[in-house]
Structure 1
Amino acid sequence: MPHTPTTHAEPLPRPEAVRRPAPDRGRSLLGPALELIHTGRAPTRSALTAELAVTRATAGAVAAELAALGLVTVDAHPIGTGRGRPSHRLGVAPEGPVVLTAQIHSDGLSLALAGLGGVLGEPVHLPLPARTDPERMLGAIAEAGAALVAGQRRRCLGAALALPNPVREPEGTTPAALHFGWPGSTPVAALFAEAMAGVDLGQRARRPLPTAVANDANLVALAEHRHGAGRAARRLLLVTSGHRGVGGALVVDGHLHTGSAGLALEVGHLTVDPLGRPCPCGNRGCLNVETDPEALLAAAGRTPDPRRPLLEQARELAESAAHDPVARTAVDKVVDLLGMGLAGLANILNPDRIVLGRLHQDLLAAAPERLPEVVTRRSLWGRCDQVPIVAAELCHAGLIGAGELAWAPYLANPQAVAG
């Protein structure tokens, strides 16, 4: 028989070598893994393994690198969950970095420090400065923010501001500032960055400090989608009324729908009564002025007390509808107009969940059957496929949402925290 030459194949790699992720593959998983832990979708290493669709060794290596960056914690000992083998619990690092969050209301300012996981420090609430021009307002926020940052021991990686006005993207300008009369196209993003650069943030803040601004309703929707009543919704519509006016936002598959220039979903300027109250936008009967705190008080024939926040007075009125016939009539009137607006939005956007915030969640509590019934009756799709309408869950959602905005670059690239 002729001699058959022997082929010398390379030895097979060990099993653990097959599972070890390539460096680039491991780094590309850091952002998705951090977001899963940040939003609570991966509370254990086994959950992280399943969500990332990787091996246990890969998930362990990714979690270990995030822990080395000071962003997450990995319990040293695995815990049993009642199913399968025990797994190590994952969480955000309680002493990890923070970001500065701020929000401008029509009647005040709020600031707080936000860690990962939607964890918010104790907010600070301040009155509006005597002058409300952009420079004075943003300067007051920067000074109060500097005191917050310098007064704690954790690193500060960025700052973000929630505005009660639309914000044009990517310029960061306000085409209209309905509450304070700021000039059109005010460069609010640039002014905020300049204000933060001009204050002493202490030794623990990144310099220069990254800054960002966005519309408050957009940020509330993002916060509720990641940490509140909007979890797992694929198409989440948020409608909310705070101190004055009405805002709204849409989150589609985890991302804000902001339109071609950041100006989409100005739901407050949907007309629900053509002969109704005048709106600052120049129209009449907008959702903005027919379903906000001032409108509810007016429907009950009450003059607002200038010494108390409008929202507080309106929420008390909504709660009293259970035993006060005048309040009941006022609530029903405003609820009918709100339901009409929500039905129109549902016809256009086809959301799978509607989350109501601030005063609107109080109206839902005061009329838990009437409001969904109005939406169902007036919505084309509502009659055959009723949309769940739920109350927002988060306190200070605007600040939490601003935290999401400030954390965004680090969720995309966790290694940037080491810079």
Structure 2
Amino acid sequence: MELKPATLAGPTLAGTALTLIHAGRAATRSELTSQLGVTRATTGAITAELRDLGLIVVDSGPGGGHQGRPSHRVVPDPEGPVALAAQVHPDGYAVALVGLGGVIAARRAWHAPVPADPGLVFGEVAEAAADLLRTSRRRCVGAAACLPTAVTRPQGTAIRALYVGWPDGSPVRELFAAELTRRGVAAPAGFSAVNDVNAIALAEHRHGAGRDAGHLLVLVAEHRGVGGGLVLDGSLYTGSTGLAMEAGHVSVDPYGRPCVCGNRGCLNVETDAARFLESAGRELPAQGPILDEAIALLRDGYQTDARVRQAADAIVERLGLGLAGLINVINPDRVLLGGMHGALLAVAPGPLREAVARHSPWGHGAAIPVEACSLDDAGLIGAAETAWQPVLDNPVLIRSLPD
């Protein structure tokens, strides 16, 4: 009996194929066949199903192959469905439509003071997001927001969102979903909320500098404070309740600055953008993005301004100490630094790597590659990954999307 393509593919096999194409790990049907470990006929059935679902394009032109045999290219459909991603940070907001492959199809961002009422924040974000979807006329698989706070799982509540002044325990996922639903945005794959650095880590692992890492540690000095993320064997590690990897609250000086968490000397306050600006003798801007100002000062002044260099070197030493401790506990095979930490690595790669090695027992940390994050808008792309995940697991969910 001849099997139908949907039966041949099945949710699991089709999902694996879509994930490989999505992550850029299989660009042709030949590569897909090899990685799936199936026959060419089965691969043909799988790709035909994914094409009929509007998720991929099978290019009829030759894309390479083995032993002179051409193999068709398989790529995400550039006009296919999108995930709606939103990012909230202390200096403003951004929304984007993100297709398969981590490609941003449309984006809007604006700087504005963030209200202390998360309901007002998500109302503004949802209005912009709904307008973006209407303008694009693209179908939406799901929606996710990345936020500058720890987010519990599965409840989706914010824990200690002090940088934006929200009440502890704010139901951010529910608020986000309610505001989008009120504006007619359907999300068949669901609504989710995720910590911003967790989103960055996921995006970098799938589409950026963290590809192929088995144990990827990411540390980012974002708009305020410092956050961490960990991807283990392809999956984001969030702990038992979603609150794992609050690396910004690793203390590097028990007598250091007080941190919002109640401790002293945390990476969060000893190696962030505000600490660098103050140490370099600059006043913090009353308005506007602190992160952008800190990175510009670091890049322009590290080689020419003694006080800037002194401030940067002090942060390098503290960051090296914190990284060494994290490396000793986690034993990653790659470390990525983002935000101001990535800028520090760019201007002082030798001193930073030397600081990690100096504080690592047996010099183990010296052998771990320390690189910079590579993606623009990694938070938005990573948030979109969480919205896409149900479809990556089971592509037939796409049939429930409204036309």
Q: CA deviation at 1:234?
A: 0.1
The answer for the alignment partner of 1:327 in structure 2 is 308
Of the two, which has the highest radius of gyration? 1
Q: Distance in 2 between matches of 1:147 and 1:118?
A: 21
How has the CA–CA distance of structure 1 residues 50 and 197 changed in structure 2, closer, same or farther, with 3 Å as cutoff?
same
Q: Does 1:363 align with 2:371?
A: no
- Counterpart of 2:335, as a letter, is I
Q: Does 1:109 align with 2:93?
A: yes
Q: Does 1:227 align with 2:207?
A: yes
Give the strand-richer structure, 1 or 2: 2
Q: Deviations over 1:207-237 (max 9, x none)?
A: 6672111111111000000000000000000
Alignment of 1:339-358 (within 5 A): 339-358=320-339
| Larger displacement relative to structure 2 (296-305 or 396-405) | 296-305
The answer for the alignment partner of 1:409 in structure 2 is 390
How has the CA–CA distance of structure 1 residues 134 and 307 changed in structure 2, closer, same or farther, with 3 Å as cutoff?
closer
Q: CA deviation at 1:123?
A: 2.5
The answer for the alignment partner of 1:287 in structure 2 is 267
Q: Does 1:165 align with 2:145?
A: no
Query: SS of the residue aligned with 2:63?
Result: coil
CA RMSD of aligned residues (A): 1.9
- Counterpart of 2:54, as a letter, is G
Answer whether contact 2:149 2:195 (CA < 8 A) is retained: yes
Structure 1 unaligned segments of length 5 or more: list them.
1-12
- Counterpart of 2:74, as a letter, is L
Q: CA deviation at 1:174?
A: 1.4
How has the CA–CA distance of structure 1 residues 367 and 385 changed in structure 2, closer, same or farther, with 3 Å as cutoff?
closer
How has the CA–CA distance of structure 1 residues 372 and 182 changed in structure 2, closer, same or farther, with 3 Å as cutoff?
same
How has the CA–CA distance of structure 1 residues 247 and 415 changed in structure 2, closer, same or farther, with 3 Å as cutoff?
same
The answer for the alignment partner of 1:300 in structure 2 is 280
Q: CA deviation at 1:380?
A: 2.1
Q: Distance in 1 between matches of 2:207 and 2:168?
A: 34
Q: Does 1:77 align with 2:61?
A: yes
Answer whether contact 2:12 2:393 (CA < 8 A) is retained: no
TM-score normalised by length of structure 1: 0.91
Q: Distance in 1 between matches of 2:367 and 2:80?
A: 43
Alignment of 1:242-281 (within 5 A): 242-281=222-261
- Counterpart of 1:72, as a letter, is I
How has the CA–CA distance of structure 1 residues 59 and 199 changed in structure 2, closer, same or farther, with 3 Å as cutoff?
same
Q: CA deviation at 1:140?
A: 0.9
TM-score normalised by length of structure 2: 0.95
Q: Distance in 2 between matches of 1:384 and 1:210?
A: 40
How has the CA–CA distance of structure 1 residues 212 and 259 changed in structure 2, closer, same or farther, with 3 Å as cutoff?
same
How has the CA–CA distance of structure 1 residues 232 and 341 changed in structure 2, closer, same or farther, with 3 Å as cutoff?
same
Q: Distance in 1 between matches of 2:219 and 2:315?
A: 14
Q: Distance in 1 between matches of 2:44 and 2:361?
A: 49
Q: Distance in 1 between matches of 2:210 and 2:350?
A: 21
Q: CA deviation at 1:127?
A: 3.1
Q: Distance in 1 between matches of 2:168 and 2:329?
A: 29
How has the CA–CA distance of structure 1 residues 365 and 130 changed in structure 2, closer, same or farther, with 3 Å as cutoff?
closer
Answer whether contact 1:304 1:313 (CA < 8 A) is retained: no
